[in-house]
């Protein structure tokens, strides 16, 4: 049996503020959680992971998304993990990549979501990731988010 190809979706936001990416990541995570999908949020650094950890508690009144920071020393309990760096998370359903580079472990997920804000640096990094996925014989979908 052949392994199914990873589905990649780019969500392109109009907003230029970096917090818009984190807010959208929280909304996407909430949707995936309600659909029963296990999700890993991959950030570019530990301070962004910490900010995302805080935002998941406060981004929307009444929202509850059980989550934890990735810890290589123990398997996760929560259906949502947050991490940065090269340590591979468990093979969950959805990877939300907020880092500038595509992590080496992206193929262990059935879906990858890339969130791009309107800032020139983020757009350029996003174009590089889009090219990378195409070089991997994947055809990313693009969704414009107003």
- Name the CATH superfamily for 17-145: DNA polymerase III subunit chi (3.40.50.10110)
What digits encode the pLDDT tens for the residues 39-67?
999 999 999 999 999 999 888 888 889 99
pTM value > 0.85? yes
Is 1 a residue whose pLDDT tops 70? no
User: Do 87 and 70 form a contact (C-beta atoms < 8 A)?
Assistant: yes
- Spell out the domain ranges in the chain: 17-145
DSSP H/E element including 105: none
- The token duo for 109 is 């997920």
Query: Would you state the torsion angle of the CA atoms of residues 126, 9, 91, 77, taken in this order, to the nearest 10 degrees?
Result: 90
- pLDDT, one tens digit per residue, over 6-29 is 999 999 999 998 889 999 999 999
What pLDDT is recorded for position 3?
Answer: 55
Which stretches within the chain are classed as H helix?
A: 18-34, 46-58, 120-135
DSSP secondary structure string for all residues of 51-91: HHHHHHHHSSTT----EEE--TTS---SSEEEEESSPPPP-
């Amino acid at each position: 049996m052949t392994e199914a190809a990873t589905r990649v979706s780019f969500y392109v936001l109009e907003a230029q503020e970096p917090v818009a990416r984190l807010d959208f990541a929280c909304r996407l995570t909430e949707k995936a959680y309600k659909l029963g999908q296990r999700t890993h949020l991959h950030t570019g650094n530990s301070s962004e992971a910490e900010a995302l950890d805080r935002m998941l508690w406060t981004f929307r009144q009444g929202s509850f998304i059980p989550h934890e920071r990735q810890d290589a020393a123990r398997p996760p309990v929560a259906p949502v993990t947050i991490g940065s760096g090269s340590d591979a998370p468990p093979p969950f359903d959805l990877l939300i990549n907020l880092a500038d580079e595509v992590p080496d472990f992206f193929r262990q997920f059935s879906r990858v979501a890339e969130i791009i804000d309107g800032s020139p640096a983020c757009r350029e990094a996003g174009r590089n990731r889009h090219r990378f996925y195409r070089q991997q014989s994947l055809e990313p979908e693009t969704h414009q988010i107003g």
